[in-house]
Amino acid sequence: MLAAAAALLAGCQIMPPAETGIAPRPARTAIPGFSIDGRVAAHEGTTQHYANISWRHTAAADDIVLTTPLGQGVAELNRDTDGARLKSADGKMVAAADWEELSARVFGFALPLEGMPRWLLGDVAPTQRDDQGRPLAARADGWSIRYLGYESEAADALPVLVEFRRDDIEVRLKVDSWQLD
């Protein structure tokens, strides 16, 4: 019986670690662009908005498509060197010089869309880290950022649930899938 227990323990020691199914990630600062699919919830006071989000980000441009939870198109947002634009489902177009001006015109308050891609990656000076050294909390441009979940336990894992807060504005982004450039 003792020999059988020893054999079982020895077998456990040579088993490979469980696979997470996620390829190793580069350093957060070395990720130039990404695509995500997920969900976003935005709250200001008692006003709430929920949408599915598909976001393609590069240093030069952003393309964001927002749909209802049932998949109906709500809006397309684009940013490039010519400025930022929002096209609503009814075909109306709103243009501005940058993301913050566009979000202020559309939503009545400026969202941190310029910094959000880096913050979403966890490429921000954290005020608190987890046991793997990943950001748990940060502050940037007056926003409080909380990292509520990661795609795995790996130190290089990317965030999958992030909360951004300032005053009575809260934006929570749930990433269902990451694709890195």
Give the per-residue pLDDT at 96: 96
pLDDT digits (tens, 9 = 90+) for 154-181: 999 999 999 999 999 999 999 999 999 8
Exposure letters 66-90 (e unless 16+ CB within 10 A, then b)? bbeeeeeeebbbbbeeeebebeeee
pLDDT digits (tens, 9 = 90+) for 35-83: 999 999 988 888 888 999 999 999 999 999 999 988 899 999 999 999 9
pLDDT higher for 88 or 4? Answer: 88
Distance CA 40, CA 29 (A): 24
Give the per-residue pLDDT at 126: 94
Listed residue (100, 108, 117, 125) closest to 173, CA to CA: 117
Listed residue (155, 116, 109) closest to 138, CA to CA: 116
Average pLDDT of the segment spanning 10-24: 52
Give the per-residue pLDDT at 108: 78
Outline where the chain has alpha helix (H): 2-14, 99-107, 116-121
Map residue 132 onto helix, strand or coil.
coil
Map residue 44 onto helix, strand or coil.
strand
Give the per-residue pLDDT at 112: 84
Tokens for 169? 């504005």
Tokens for 98? 């940058």
Domains and CATH numbers, the chain: 35-180 (2.50.20.10)
pLDDT at 10 exceeding the cut of 60 = no
Give the per-residue pLDDT at 11: 42
pLDDT digits (tens, 9 = 90+) for 121-138: 999 999 999 999 999 999
In what order do the strands lie in the sheet containing 47-57? 93-96, 83-88, 73-80, 62-67, 47-57, 34-44, 169-180, 159-166, 143-150, 135-140, 126-129
Give the per-residue pLDDT at 20: 55
